[in-house]
A and B are shown apart, each in its own frame.
Chain A
């Protein structure tokens, strides 16, 4: 399934879609979006790229096996959940908020959502890549 148009478009779309998925992730707290949808969009971007350019090339861009994203994401989520207990002695998953000059207010739930995002990308890509390799 070699198509020059498809391949070119997917190469342009990949960074755009990833950017869009990050945008969806970040706006999630106040507007429709969030880590789960963001993760799905990002994985669609990679899957699209792999269809157009072959799995090998997509893996080259990723460098790491997508499976590595799963424990990384889980770790970030767990740490963000544990952070209030460790640092300020509050119950698990209490929201912590930091005011920063540059980005405005950032909450610990953003890190939690980022973890979800990474886990979702990792899971989707692991499953789809594994199946397409074995098909």
Chain B
């Protein structure tokens, strides 16, 4: 079944293929891009029949078997739900974008990134190996980064892209930590096999870390409080991207992860309690914020965060009813929110603004869009007979039956839903009603793709509301037992007159009242901005500013471009490291120099070295200093010879000769006098050098006192002639035993030579002009 592998990778190949096509060809046939999501949609649809019958498909391809990383994929009900969402909404968004970005110069790049993202997302939801999942997860973050920063000439876009990447990247890291930890505790990286050792996820000492890592990954990706703010910034992306990544699919990856691992954590009540709290806080926080936004996309961003909060909240309730509700709400939200986003895009396209205070009266000119918008708003509000109504009923049903405090849970769900009604109406209805604003010019001709795509989604919301059993048969019937082990609730449109209906009615009434009374204005938006400094966003930005200053300062301190400073820092660090060791473990008797054991020749060398050191230090001519240094070098050669290392002596001799030549070449043209640094600096350098030298000497003496481990030495000495047919052990090591090292060394040297050549030649050329 390598077809499945092709299905998961074809999007990446397609992105490459687009570049092969080239800009000019692609602009003439942009519709080609839509073939990808549509064919994938058809492919994944072909599984629905078997999965409805309860089958689960496993696909395994070896990748890095030695590390336990295999391309394991599993297509079950949950994966299929997301795969269909990704490819289905994907098809709509791809088609919409061919029109929306028709004149954009970088349209090819846009579709390449979008295809890339789709491939990554399909990988996330189908992967059955936690490390494979991690890789695809990171790929979605990266593609999101490029798409948010798509208008890369705007500073705001670039900043938003970096914020999003930082936050979701943090989550990616913790996901890796989660994967590695879970893998080593359970002994498998396969997600479905981890279910066999649920003890790890319930009462193991490391369970708390597993939960922290998983939550950080899911909450950052799914924009839960306090990490939600990257999603507001992400609205800088072109509207189709916001539709696709930041509302319908990518932000649901965190939700997917929480759902996928909820069976693993089934016996762990803390898991669900934390989800309940975080989801609850997020949905309330976001719901209230929708009131203060004037940009349509800003309102949608907060209502998306709110919806994600609701889903997390529902998973947190943890009953089969609430999981059913969560799944229905995922579908519902994807449909109406994608529709609302696309409508916002079209309004922007036709009028050039997304400012709610300036929009109104578009009903007549953009009539089809008005229909689509109203339907989406109704579904968002939970008006019968839309799927939103079914979803809202299920939410109340699960809060009412939820274990902890039904009254409390129902109240906060009600408050959130009221704001959701408001948000849906503001975006889907307000731009079309009322009077037209004078300053806004409307293009009356609307391209068909720009209204038919949101229309399809809105009509689908209506259709699924009338026939909720479709959602039940396709999704909840398989997914709820998969995740909770219990049967799914029956999805029906009409429950009869009961408490739930009453709650729905209250929600609608309050929501519509709020919509009629509350008008978003700049004044209100600015009023909220005054307490902006308390928001997680400002706290994060302050932190990142401080972090930036700190790293800037550290870099300035250490990477200052002066070789002498680098050497100084290195020596100080080494002195501290060596010195602390030596002062603590000094054994004086080992160190005392036995003068009598010195031979005459050694004594001569010693005096020579010391006197040339002083010559070098105190001469006033550069050339003399160089000569002094070279005398030290040549004396070293003699020491090597005395101790029987002729190879070293030869090399040292030649190197020293070349070094002197190099020094002379460089120094020849410089002024004669050395006396450039003042006495304080010289004394400072002297102290550093002297203490470093002293400690190094002590270290060497200490090493000499250790009994050397001679295993390698003996091996080389014994085998040089037997194995490598050479009598010179040193050279045999260089060219044979450790030949690979030599290979790398000469490569490094070559690079250095090219560097010197390049630097000096280029410098010369640029100055000759």
Contacts and interface: CB of A to CB of B under 8 A. Distances in A.
A113 B735 contact: yes
B621 to A, nearest CB: 18
B761 A130 contact: yes
A124 B658 contact: yes
Interface stretch (B92-100, B191-199, B750-758): B750-758
B742 A116 contact: yes
A109 B735 CA distance: 6
Contacts of B734: 34, 36
B735 A70 contact: no
B91 to A, nearest CB: 51
Interface string A19-57: 000001000111111111100110110010000000000
A74 B749 CA distance: 11
Looking at A28, A33, A37, the one whose CB has the most chain B CB atoms below 10 A away is A37
Contacts of A107: 724-725
A131 B654 contact: no
A101 to B, nearest CB: 18
B661 to A, nearest CB: 6
Interface in B717-767: 723-728, 730-732, 734-736, 739-740, 742-743, 746-747, 749-750, 752-754, 756-757, 760-761, 763-764
B668 interface: yes
Interface string B483-521: 000000000000000000000000000000000000000
Given A32-B647, A47-B658, A113-B735, A95 B725 contact: yes
Given A113-B735, A124-B658, A130-B757, A73 B746 contact: yes
A131 B662 contact: yes
B658 A67 contact: no
Contacts of B711: none
Contacts of B732: 29, 109
Contact of A34 (B647, B661, B753, B760): B647
Given A33-B650, A37-B647, A105-B725, A127 B753 contact: yes
Given A37-B647, A93-B740, A116-B746, A131 B666 contact: yes
A86 to B, nearest CB: 16
B642 to A, nearest CB: 15
Given A78-B743, A130-B756, A132-B665, A40 B651 contact: yes
Q: How large is the interface on B (under 10, 10 to 19, 20 to 34, 35 or more residues)?
A: 35 or more
Interface in A75-115: 77-78, 81, 92-93, 95, 97, 105, 107, 109, 112-113, 115
B727 A70 contact: no
A81 B740 CA distance: 8
A31 B756 CA distance: 34
A123 B666 contact: no
Contact of B665 (A30, A123, A126, A131): A131
B736 A32 contact: no
Nearest to B738: A93
A135 interface: yes
Interface in B364-385: none
A95 B760 CA distance: 40
Contact of A81 (B657, B662, B743, B749): B743
B528 to A, nearest CB: 63
Nearest to A127: B756
A28 B668 contact: no
Interface residues of A, number: 49
Given A67-B753, A115-B746, A130 B735 contact: no
Nearest to B732: A29
A19 to B, nearest CB: 16
A123 B736 contact: no
B669 interface: yes
A28 B750 contact: no
A77 B743 contact: yes
Contacts of A119: 746, 749-750
A35 B764 CA distance: 33
A128 B753 contact: no
Contacts of A67: 753-754, 757
Looking at A44, A97, A123, the one whose CB has the most chain B CB atoms below 10 A away is A123
A134 interface: yes
Contacts of A127: 662, 752-753, 756-757
A73 B749 CA distance: 12
B746 A109 contact: no
B655 interface: yes
Contacts of A130: 756-757, 760-761
B646 interface: yes
A133 B646 CA distance: 34
Nearest to B661: A47
A81 B742 CA distance: 11
B756 A29 contact: no
Contact of A33 (B666, B731, B763): B731
A87 B752 CA distance: 33
Interface in B384-426: none
Contacts of A37: 647, 650-651, 654
Contact of B736 (A95, A116, A128): A95
Contact of A128 (B647, B651, B662): B662
B661 A30 contact: no
Looking at B655, B726, B740, the one whose CB has the most chain A CB atoms below 10 A away is B726
Contact of A31 (B654, B728, B739, B754): B728
Contacts of B749: 119-120, 123
A74 B745 CA distance: 11
Nearest to A39: B654
Given A37-B654, A124-B658, A135 B739 contact: no
A40 B654 contact: yes
Contacts of B650: 24, 32-33, 37
Contact of B753 (A28, A40, A95, A126): A126
A44 B651 contact: no
B287 to A, nearest CB: 65
B92 to A, nearest CB: 54
A25 B728 CA distance: 12
Contacts of A78: 743
A34 B725 contact: no
Contacts of A34: 647, 728, 730-731, 734-735
A31 B743 contact: no
A123 B752 contact: yes
B633 to A, nearest CB: 13
Contacts of A95: 723-725, 736
A135 B731 CA distance: 36
Contacts of A32: 646-647, 650, 728, 730
A115 B655 CA distance: 19
Contacts of B764: 133-134
Contact of A28 (B657, B731, B757, B761): B731
Contacts of B657: 40, 44
Interface of B: 646-647, 650-651, 654-655, 657-658, 661-662, 665-666, 668-669, 723-728, 730-732, 734-736, 739-740, 742-743, 746-747, 749-750, 752-754, 756-757, 760-761, 763-764
Interface of A: 24, 28-37, 40-41, 43-44, 47, 67, 70-71, 73-74, 77-78, 81, 92-93, 95, 97, 105, 107, 109, 112-113, 115-116, 119-120, 122-124, 126-128, 130-135
29 contacts: A28-B731, A28-B735, A29-B727, A29-B728, A29-B735, A32-B730, A33-B731, A34-B731, A34-B735, A35-B735, A36-B734, A47-B661, A70-B750, A73-B746, A77-B743, A81-B743, A92-B740, A93-B736, A93-B739, A95-B736, A122-B750, A123-B749, A123-B750, A126-B754, A127-B752, A127-B756, A128-B661, A135-B665, A135-B666
Given A105-B725, A109-B739, A128-B658, 16 more contacts: A24-B650, A29-B732, A30-B727, A32-B646, A32-B728, A34-B734, A40-B654, A40-B657, A47-B658, A74-B747, A109-B736, A116-B742, A119-B749, A130-B761, A131-B666, A135-B665
